[in-house]
Structure 1
Amino acid sequence: MKIQKKLSLLLALSFLLGLSAGGNKVMAADGAESYNYSYWGLTTAAPAAYQANGLWNGESTGAGAFKEPGDFHVTGDKQIYVLDSGHNRIVVLDEKLQPVQTIRSFARDGKEETFNNPQGLFVTDSKELVVADTGNKRIVQLDRNNKLVKVIDAPKSDLLSEKFDFQPVRVVVDKAQRIYVMSAGVYDGFMEFSPDGTFTSFVGANRVSFNPTDYLWKMLSTKAQRSQMVMFTPTEFTNLDIDQEGFIYATNGQDSGNVKKLNAQGNDILRRNGYFAPEGDIRYMSATGPSRLIDIDVGDSEMYSILDGKRGRVFTYDGDGHLLYVFGGLGNQMGQFNTPVAIERLGDEFLVLDKALGEITVFETTEYGRTLNEAVRAYYNGDENKAYELYQETISMNANLEFAYAGIGKALLRQGDYREAMKYFKKSMDQKGYSKAFLLYRKEVLREYFPGIMTGMVLLIICWFGVGKYRKRRGGKKVAFIKQRAV
């Protein structure tokens, strides 16, 4: 019996160690409604930051049923452009999800032309509509009055092969009116087009990902064997968005670097200072595998959200890469989806588009979500006092949110309270923040006590020289006295 108990205990410990092992990523957050991850990679409970408060489909909006909608976009004046791919139309809704207009066609050279299975769209600040007309293998740009601006057909370039098949599926436009296109089957990055529609270059190609063992085997194989092997090619991007400063945020299907922030040169400048890289779930059942990111939405204050198509969850991060909150999921309940395909912000609310059901779910913030969002914004805008107070409120609602302690530490750091900042950085396991606060605190202490230390050292030196001279003088007198007595 004792041996059996010991064996059972050993098996239980082995199981727990297996769950906590970072390499296997076996333990899941599957099934959890709201959670976060600790510094040690453990799933911790968290209050809901967003809750579903509305469900809309084409019929309830008054625009007619949606059929496999592929994308949508929210403008600065809070109009919602829904790409109803199955019906080859764009439905424009107001912020209350009531129909404004429907765009089915446009005039080109005196003839009416329609869309064919469009998969992506973007609306500029001047309300120009840019559509990835996938079935027609072109990009269509319309002005705010739905008049044709230009059509970008399959480009010709030395950078493209003769067999290149132009299948645009996603599109964004920057402030300079450059158009960035994600085309199916392209591994070289996003296609960049000048304002006049000329293809110029590729931007932000993913690096090749391969297994070292496979690479070694490929080197040792014969030509016949190599011809049957899978080629090492970069992964495709899965979606993209652009912020107000012109930086492109993109998602892809790699095992690492799933989210990128690309500058004008195509370099990834995303900050990954959180406990784990922004990639969705970091713990999951081995049978289901990691998150499959299918969309990204960039908000204000460098906050961004990614949509996991595999589990239907939305993960939101701050500009440093800390996971703020998680919501959503797959299922039949309110706030869950069947086939989520796109995510957008409507003010402080979130909209998630379900392709299979043709529905839009509206999520509104809870008190916890609002407080956390405002804390991030306050810190981003340099309002240290407000950030400190809001992060304190956040911790009072969720003591498990370890990175919030780092937020307080950063606020205190900006305020110049380095000693107190060290305590909060220690709680959040922020080694870089702690080291910075420690160095500044050490300088502050040295600056405070340096005059006293230097004064003391000078006095010691003066005393040392004074004592030396006194002893020398006294010694000289003593020798003279001895000589006098001897005479």
Structure 2
Amino acid sequence: MYFILNRLQNVIISLLTVMVLWISMGETTHAQNPPSYNYSFWEESVPAPAAYEAINLIDGESLGVGALNEPNDLHITRDGQVFILDSGNNRIIHLDEHYNLVEVMDAFQLDGVTQNFSNPQGIFVNDDGHIFVADTGNNRVIHFDETYHVVKMIDEPESELLNDSFTFLPVKVVVDYAERVFVMADGVFDGFMEFSIEGDFTTFIGANRVRVDPIEYLWKRFATREQRSQMVMYVPTEFTSLDIDEKGFIYATSADNSDDMIKKLNARGDDILRREGYFSPRGDIRYTQSAGPSRMIDISVADHEIYSVLDARRGRIFTYNGDGHLMYVFGSIGNKVGQFHTPIAIERNADQFLVLDRALGEVTIFSTTEYGQILNEAVKSYETGNEERAHQLFAEAVNMNVNLEFAYTGIGKALLRQDEFEGAIDHFIQSMDRANYSKAYQLHRNQTLREHFSTVMTVAIVTIGGLTIFSIFRKRRLKKRGVSIE
């Protein structure tokens, strides 16, 4: 009943919010930050304030290096250095933390011979400043030091796990703190290729599950060998991108529209992504059949388990917290500032986002709004154990967006850590969070029993003692009267 009444209240508030936003949009059509949206517990689209706004554009002309030609990747280091992989021009463009040009690298020396890239698709820079490039057209991954001297080369790997016709086509690369190299290669369905610190191929990690059409599977059971040979072979879905966090966990996206299209892989390749939100992280929940589901093309992991994915189909960036709750959405396809033609890569730089557009050859810089900053800080405060601060910030976020249901869960969890169970219960009811509601209710019940334990025990002892004395007294009286009590 609590959940139903609360849902009716939220529906009314949502309708009022829509009316206010509609009026404000009509009066301020020139506003720079159009309202965004989120999804409710019922998987309905609800209005939300903009969390990010486009503030600048970077292209080759503004940098003085000529137009970018189908760039495919970019990477931002922890100190804010930006590396753009200009694939069509076979070069790397290095910018400083203020987005000013540092250098352009389009050739390097290998054994005294000048070498060039050939349609490179992926770039990664580790904390030591070493640069790893997936040089796709040359079938190799190149490891440079910070001065672009070649440290080692990973080319055609040899292993019993690879068939004789295998061609190494690396498209994405990341490196963990132990200097293990993980490569996403075109045409590989067994997962990511893992290479040792020496550059030797060791194993595959994190293969997607094979998804089979039940009807066709049944048909195969009764088909002849010749018929089966002409049927489509089922293979695992290919990955579309990967990123790695400071702890060495790999975040990856797949092309299929499944509940596990976004994964977090541990060292064994197990998916440990938490999906505790109202729905699994997969971009848009509501869409028309003609438009189709979100197609994730890139992923970027920030601190405190916050991650963002780029939907190439509609040009949207979806950001989730570590529990899998959708925090905010921004971006779209179009020809205005903050919109894209062919978004291909995304990177987070502190509280800014950089989105690379392959067709336009430009990078759009997004900066957080007040609402987005408050929400980011609320999640970070909770993850770092600052419950009081998290409570305050989530409350501010709710004041700005009454439709942000997961913020009530954030407040409830903060109160739970502070042993304020009654308040936590109220907020879990607001957020329709049954799992945490049950946990808070049980803790509240245990706390109540502990607080009143002495009183309960005293009453129980007195009651039992009184009954015992009464029974003894009664037996004695009856015995004196000569009445049998057996």
Q: Quote how far apart the aligned CAs of 1:478 are.
A: 3.2
Give yes or no for the alignment of 1:262 onto 2:265. yes
- Pick from 439, 444, 451: which aligns with 1:441? 444
- Tell me which residue corresponds to 1:389: 392
> SS of the counterpart of 2:292?
coil
Please say if residues 308 and 318 of structure 2, whose CA atoms lie closer than 8 Å, have aligned partners that are also in contact. yes
Paired residues, number: 449
- Tell me which residue corresponds to 1:484: none
- Tell me which residue corresponds to 1:133: 135
Judge which range, 56-65 or 427-436, deviates more.
Answer: 56-65
- Tell me which residue corresponds to 1:28: none
- Tell me which residue corresponds to 2:194: 192
- Tell me which residue corresponds to 1:64: 66
Q: Quote how far apart the aligned CAs of 1:33 are.
A: 5.6
Give yes or no for the alignment of 1:107 onto 2:109. yes
Q: Deviations over 1:168-227 (max 9, x none)?
A: 000001111110000000000000000111000001000101121111111111222212
Please say if residues 330 and 338 of structure 1, whose CA atoms lie closer than 8 Å, have aligned partners that are also in contact. yes
Please say if residues 35 and 48 of structure 2, whose CA atoms lie closer than 8 Å, have aligned partners that are also in contact. no
Structure 1 residue runs of 5 or longer lacking an equivalent are 1-31, 481-487
Between the aligned partners of 2:481 and 2:190, the Cα distance in structure 1 is: 94
Please say if residues 406 and 430 of structure 1, whose CA atoms lie closer than 8 Å, have aligned partners that are also in contact. yes
- Tell me which residue corresponds to 2:23: none
- Tell me which residue corresponds to 2:21: none
Between the aligned partners of 1:316 and 1:274, the Cα distance in structure 2 is: 13
Give yes or no for the alignment of 1:337 onto 2:340. yes
- Pick from 461, 469, 472: which aligns with 2:472? 469
Q: Which amino acid aligns with 1:478?
A: R
- Tell me which residue corresponds to 2:424: 421
Q: Which amino acid aligns with 2:181?
A: I
Q: Which amino acid aligns with 1:335?
A: G
Q: Which amino acid aligns with 1:262?
A: L
Between the aligned partners of 1:48 and 1:94, the Cα distance in structure 2 is: 28
Q: Quote how far apart the aligned CAs of 1:343 are.
A: 0.2
> SS of the counterpart of 2:293?
coil
- Tell me which residue corresponds to 1:145: 147
Q: Deviations over 1:358-382 (max 9, x none)?
A: 0100000000000000000000000
TM-score, normalized by length of structure 1? 0.91
Please say if residues 33 and 329 of structure 1, whose CA atoms lie closer than 8 Å, have aligned partners that are also in contact. no
- Tell me which residue corresponds to 1:272: 275
Please say if residues 306 and 320 of structure 2, whose CA atoms lie closer than 8 Å, have aligned partners that are also in contact. yes
> SS of the counterpart of 1:210?
coil
Give yes or no for the alignment of 1:205 onto 2:207. yes
- Tell me which residue corresponds to 2:12: none
- Tell me which residue corresponds to 2:90: 88
Please say if residues 190 and 202 of structure 1, whose CA atoms lie closer than 8 Å, have aligned partners that are also in contact. yes
Judge which range, 298-307 or 451-460, deviates more.
Answer: 451-460
- Pick from 443, 450, 453: which aligns with 2:453? 450
Between the aligned partners of 1:119 and 1:103, the Cα distance in structure 2 is: 15
Written as runs of structure 1 = structure 2, the 5 A alignment for 1:18-417 is: 34-256=36-258, 257-417=260-420
Please say if residues 80 and 95 of structure 1, whose CA atoms lie closer than 8 Å, have aligned partners that are also in contact. yes
Sequence identity (%):
56
Q: CA RMSD for the aligned pairs?
A: 1.1
> SS of the counterpart of 1:301?
helix
Q: Quote how far apart the aligned CAs of 1:473 are.
A: 2.0
Please say if residues 62 and 98 of structure 1, whose CA atoms lie closer than 8 Å, have aligned partners that are also in contact. no
- Tell me which residue corresponds to 2:13: none
Q: Quote how far apart the aligned CAs of 1:452 are.
A: 1.1
Please say if residues 33 and 328 of structure 1, whose CA atoms lie closer than 8 Å, have aligned partners that are also in contact. no
Between the aligned partners of 2:301 and 2:371, the Cα distance in structure 1 is: 20
Q: Which amino acid aligns with 1:411?
A: A
TM-score, normalized by length of structure 2? 0.91
Between the aligned partners of 1:477 and 1:264, the Cα distance in structure 2 is: 82
Q: Quote how far apart the aligned CAs of 1:76 are.
A: 1.5
Between the aligned partners of 1:239 and 1:377, the Cα distance in structure 2 is: 25
> SS of the counterpart of 2:365?
strand
> SS of the counterpart of 2:310?
strand
Between the aligned partners of 1:462 and 1:363, the Cα distance in structure 2 is: 74
The structure-2 alpha-carbon separation of the partners of 1:293 and 1:33, relative to structure 1 and needing over 3 Å to count, comes to farther
Between the aligned partners of 2:274 and 2:386, the Cα distance in structure 1 is: 21
Q: Which amino acid aligns with 1:285?
A: T
Between the aligned partners of 1:380 and 1:466, the Cα distance in structure 2 is: 58
Between the aligned partners of 2:219 and 2:307, the Cα distance in structure 1 is: 40
> SS of the counterpart of 1:345?
strand
Q: Deviations over 1:270-300 (max 9, x none)?
A: 0000111111001101111100000000001
> SS of the counterpart of 2:390?
helix
